[in-house]
């Protein structure tokens, strides 16, 4: 079996679950044209707490972890099956790092289902979600990602869901295409670092705009999983989608092993950054 692609999706607002826009159309194209995985391992910004755990229930619930949105969003359900066997496989794979099996506490939060409803709208691919351990240093997540890389050779697609830039305190509601200068600068710096040395992504914690772009680490940490996977296989993430919304949120998406597959289809290729030759391998 060839190695499964891995994705980082800039997920933005929960409302993207219900909307059809340029970003959600791109996510739909990814799901339609990338190889179909055996299962999905999702690292979401919204399961951020003091332990490393993986969902291990056969039927994970849909979690509505937000407030102030329309009732239609609270009624939304993504009934994908879980995969307890995969959860156990992850526990063994990352040893001596410890990962707990969550059989009844969490489920699929909106960082997961708001993108999967576009990637795989039939909800027929098993999904497990990995928590972000808030008590560990950022370097821990790069290392854990490298340990997870072997899953991609076993038919598992790793999907990280967060945002390169995510500052809710600076949002400009109703300005869907706005991007602050500092948000663009940090987004550009991340793109440049991933294209050069993804394993050194944490150098950007010293960037002049880091504190504004990453006031809390929860949405940034998922990007470390793509960087760690890339470093493990000595490759570089492929920039798939760029964009900003409401001033202080980056919607950038990155992939590993995805770009060539997507460029086989004109609809997908039109969504990728201009000027990237179709035969670029980023290896």
Domain positions in the chain: 6-256
Exposed/middle/buried for residue 220 (C-beta within 10 Å: 0-12, 13-18, 19+): buried
pLDDT digits (tens, 9 = 90+) for 15-56: 888 888 889 999 999 999 999 999 999 999 999 999 999 999
Dig out the tokens for 229 from the structure.
Answer: 């996977």
CB 64 within 8 A of CB 110: yes
- C-alpha span between 201 and 23 (Å, rounded): 24
pLDDT digits (tens, 9 = 90+) for 133-178: 999 999 999 999 999 999 999 999 999 999 999 999 998 988 888 9
Percentage of residues in the chain having pLDDT higher than 90: 80
CB 223 within 8 A of CB 186: no
Q: Torsion-angle region of residue 39: left (phi > 0), alpha (psi -120 to 50) or beta?
A: beta
Topology of domain 6-256 in CATH is: Protocatechuate 4,5-dioxygenase; Chain B (3.40.830)
């Amino acid at each position: 079996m060839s190695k499964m692609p891995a994705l980082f999706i800039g997920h933005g607002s929960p409302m993207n679950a219900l909307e059809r826009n340029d970003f959600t159309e791109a996510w739909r194209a990814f799901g339609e044209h990338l190889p179909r995985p055996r299962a999905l391992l999702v690292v979401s910004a919204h399961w951020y707490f003091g332990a490393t755990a993986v969902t291990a229930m056969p039927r994970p619930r849909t979690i509505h972890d937000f407030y102030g949105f329309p009732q239609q969003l609270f009624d939304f359900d993504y009934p994908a099956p879980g995969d307890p066997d995969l959860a156990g496989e992850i526990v063994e794979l990352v040893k001596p790092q410890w990962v707990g099996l969550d059989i009844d506490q969490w489920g699929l939060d909106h960082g997961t289902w708001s993108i999967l409803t576009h990637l795989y709208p039939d909800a027929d691919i098993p999904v497990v979600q990995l928590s972000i351990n808030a008590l560990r240093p950022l370097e821990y997540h790069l290392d854990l990602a490298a340990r997870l890389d072997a899953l991609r050779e076993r038919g598992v697609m790793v999907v990280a869901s967060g945002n390169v830039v995510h500052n809710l305190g600076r949002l400009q509601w109703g300005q869907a295409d706005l991007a602050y200068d500092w948000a663009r600068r940090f987004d550009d710096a991340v793109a440049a670092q991933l294209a050069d040395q993804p394993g050194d992504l944490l150098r950007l914690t010293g960037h002049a705009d880091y504190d504004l772009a990453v006031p809390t680490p929860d949405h940034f940490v998922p990007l470390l999983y793509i960087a760690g996977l890339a470093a493990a296989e000595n490759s570089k993430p492929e920039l798939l989608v760029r964009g900003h919304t409401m001033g202080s949120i980056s919607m950038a998406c990155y992939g590993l092993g995805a770009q060539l597959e997507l460029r086989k289809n004109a609809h997908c290729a039109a969504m990728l950054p201009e000027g990237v030759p179709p035969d670029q391998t980023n290896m």
